[in-house]
Structure 1
Amino acid sequence: MLPPTTTPPFTFQEGCLLLVDKPKGWTSFDVVNKVRWAIRKHLGIKKIKVGHAGTLDPMATGMLNICTGKWTKRLAELQGMDKTYTGTITLGATTASYDAEEPINATFPTDHITDEMIRQAALGLTGDLEQLPPIFSAIKVDGQPLYKKARKGVQVEVKPRPVTVHEFKITRIEMPEVDFEITCSKGTYIRSLAYDLGKNLDSGGYLTALRRSSVGPFAEASMWDLEDLLGQIPPMDAGE
């Protein structure tokens, strides 16, 4: 049985599941550190276990599942759940990171692309896939994340990984932008789907916006705004 989402009063040491809406520009590690620091000051303790179930890239927003205390043992279970994302792919260009974090490195024609071609290409990227992760990713090779090797210009062979895309729905087409909603298994890189969509259209594609709207049964309406959550965890000397 899954732990329920947690609302005040919090029992951080016994265990809490906090669904946080990660702000754009923050790393998942930044958010966990901020929450951990607030809990330590709130309880007046030096250490407490706090972790997250599934990294979001800095440019992404949306659901970050954070567990505290004894519930950190459930992180792997939470990480294994299907996830839903919404966002925007820009066609006609590529970047080394497959998203807007890196500059455009190539441009391609888009005049031949029709709305029906885009929908069919998205449909072709559903089901069980062997997906090639981006070189700018947190996957570790020889103990070091790929993105660190990529930034140093080190050439690394990246092997395809099995993932499942349950649905790849196109929700808006206004060339060169394409909005989507994707439900997929753990380990799926939406950036790679953006790149592959462009490639399958004989063009290019890269991710320009991304939001994780749900994880398993946990819906967007259950998320905490980060500042609102921190406001519920005042330092001990602030009084309660």
Structure 2
Amino acid sequence: MSTSTGLLVLVAALWGAGAGALLPRPAYRFSVPDEEGWRDRCPAGHPIAGWLGRARCGRCAAGTPPYGPGAPRLAVATALVCAALAAATDTRPELGVWLLLAPVGVLLTVVDFRVRRLPNPLTLTLAVAAPALLGLVALVPEHAGDWPTALWATLALGAGYYVLWLINPGGMGFGDVKLAFGAGAVLGWYGWSTVMLGAFAGFLFGALYGWALVILRRTGRNTAIPFGPFLIGGAFVGLLIGAYAA
């Protein structure tokens, strides 16, 4: 790894740590069951100001534990994701898009694991922002992707997940379908082989997780699991491999 790449990885990690430290509050506010509005009060009933920041209430008594996931864990997780993306992408301009979208992926993962829900404000924003931002990157010299393929992959992966949802709506949430549009754009940037790899990895990770729960007797074979984190994990792996190979 060259000195410039090492510095880039460090900067990306610092960005990830800073962004991740702001995720506990939105993770708490978004972590509600379907058909319920987003949380606007702490567990003690005090109003929550804003959407970004630590999940602590200034009006609660001193020593009251955070009401959401801990900031250090999210900061470390996001920093590692961003550092890995920087190491794979190097100085190519699409790295800016990956670093902007990475905290959203981490936030979606946390929320889906907590309540098995993928909030529309996040999935729909991702579905629109990913191809739009990549369209801007396509105008910049030295990029390594293909924007038309990213657009087609957006539609293809979204449509594929929609068909799977129609076949078995009990095994997959419609939030996964909406998330697939954004994942398709990101994976499609590096070509159809990356799309196939990322999609396969997502299903593989989900299957391994499900069977691990069955073996440990923590769930039954027909119990639904949150699939969003594995869709995101598969897209992350496919993106890393696609960026290294580009």
Q: TM-score, normalised by structure 1?
A: 0.30
Q: TM-score, normalised by structure 2?
A: 0.29
> Relative contact order, CA 8 A, sep 6+: which one is greater?
1
Structure showing the higher helix proportion among its residues: 2
Structure showing the higher strand proportion among its residues: 1
Q: Bigger radius of gyration, 1 or 2?
A: 1
